[in-house]
Structure 1
Amino acid sequence: MASGIRLEKLRKSFGATEVIKGIDMEIEPGEFVVLVGPSGCGKSTLLNLIAGLETATGGAIRIGGKLVNDVPPRDRDIAMVFQSYALYPTKTVRDNITFGMQTRRIPKDNQQAALEEFSQLLQIDHLLDRKPGQLSGGQRQRVAMGRALVRKPEVFLFDEPLSNLDAKLRISMRTEIKKLHQRLGKTIVYVTHDQIEAMTLATRIAVMDNGHIRQFAPPADIYENPVDLFVAGFMGSPPMNMLPGVLCRNGAALAVQPKGTGLRFPLPRPLADRVTLQDGDQVVLGLRPESIFAAETELPGENRFVFEEAVEVVEPTGPDTMIVFDIGGTEMIARVRPEDARPEGTRFRFEVDMTKAKLFTPDTGQAM
């Protein structure tokens, strides 16, 4: 049975510097929650507070309904996997995995059963007599995970566990971790700076900034409906295009005119109906790169807008090609099919799916 985690007005200060600033958060039993955000936003500190490696300055931490602020890490029914693996270099894989059970005086039969179960699950049963120095990075990470798994805790905490691996290995280990969660059903809190990891692993993502949680929602909601400019700009690779402009009303119709241009991006009716600003008010139009593509017809369809701009940079990525261009001094990126790409300096006819457009207020940054 997995345990949930509840954080209530949680704070953490180092001297005069407040790093965690009154976070309220409820993680359901069995959830896979990923903490993301820029360096220094507080995500690793928040994980360490849950683990008991740091002491909260204020607020409450509850695991499985139990207040654990003053409970030592070993008694919180959690297991942690670190970025550095933290394996004993002189011990074999077998001893690294069972060391915690040995210190807790778990019967040897139970130790052996747990070792066999999880070494087979992680496909490291043929490595049990090797030492960490004889293992690859991916194998060491599996050993670190095995050491955590044999404890059979209610909560797993992962602190950037894949950041030391090469790109190909990260992808395969990401899949293994997801399979592990699906099989065990335990609560996982996972810190990463990799947005792809966050999007593919999480049941919910917490986007952190400066000690606060900006948005806590399922991956699709975070990506499709960011609550503010920070989340919109942080999540996505490449990030959402942010185009400053002014509102233009024509009866019930509403458009955004980017500064310094004669272009008018028409807003779809559901979005226009939510706008309470006046004609001429400043806004920021948000467009994901994949909602800007090569125009296929002379006349755009409903909720489509077609315009031409010069190609400044072409960036092939394999399945897609990124085209960098300029609108009124703002750099924009479109994601197009490789066969639609054009050389730098040529005019390109773009089409925008305006149903994917987002609108933000420039002063508060909040989504409309």
Structure 2
Amino acid sequence: MSVEQAGTSQATLRAALATVIDPELRLPITEVGMLEDVQIDDAGLVTVKVLLTIEGCPLRDTIVRDASAALHAVDGVKDVEVLLGVMTPEQRAELKERLRPQRGIPFNQPDSLTRIYAVASGKGGVGKSSVTVNLACAMAAQGLKVGIVDADIYGFSVPGLMNLSVQPTKVDEMILPPVAYGVKVISIGMFVAGNQPVAWRGPMLHRALEQFLTDVYFGDLDALFLDLPPGTGDIAISVAQLLPRAEILVVTTPQSAAADVAERAGAIALQTQQKVVGVVENMSWLEQADGSRLELFGSGGGKLLASRLTQTVAAEVPLLGQIPLDIALREGGDAGAPIVLSQPDSAAGVSLLQIAEKLSKRPRGLAGLKLGVEPV
């Protein structure tokens, strides 16, 4: 008896499997050559063969579970058997060509609409990484496609803030970044053992960042965040060279001394021909039980910095928001649970969500994009 006679067509089964998303590529398994075959017998047993990108794929159990669940939801299916195979070198080459048909950094391609935010600070300890992670997770929760490059090679912290302990999957020279809270993440911390320090000079830093941008498959993103090291050193210069369309987002505290130092991180835009998208003031105040605010680090630093940068770069640099001191923000970072997801109604959570909303409402740029419109 044919599959059609059995009451369930192969097209129906394939349509069900089209809802199964590869957890690393974030694409349907039917679109990336992972579905080799699917059949149903007279008794309603479906046998499906899925090809993994590499032997020992760390998320193979997720694929098996999702494929089984999708097929069990089809009328006429009584049982499901998922068989796993591995792509041949030729199939992997075809997959890579399909995903990355062009060489180089995909975000520099003329048809790329990805907003690139280089999150900078004048000095360490202002909460730049926490701001980066929470903004990225907030935008991903809105349904946007978001990625993070942890460009702070010496002081990487993004994997811990997002509770990521898995290694990236390598398909030949292409790297598939782990995903947490809907955000694709790559960090040097995923390639070193334990808490081993990274002691590299400038050229090595540049090459590491370049490899993250060329070899890591992020796919089509709405927003890419780069968590930069503090200051205006090698990485800041490399970002300007490798991603000339990146926009600088400066994080500071209310303290005037901190704002003075942070001004340098934003003013580098004059030398690199980049745009400063705005200022975020962190640790603005501590809310008291009676509703009053205790300004532990002074006040006005963020507003002052935005005003100075507006004059320096001769373009409007807004103060995007002020984030209050919140124990829940620190606890969320320690637990790898971003506050915008775990406690969105908290004081810091609300502020971060409002900042993310402002960034996400900015349309992806069409400047220089050819629309292919020709006269008839």
- Common fold, TM-score beyond 0.5? no
Query: Which structure is higher in helix share?
Result: 2
Query: Which structure is higher in strand share?
Result: 1
- When normalised by structure 2's length, the TM-score is 0.28
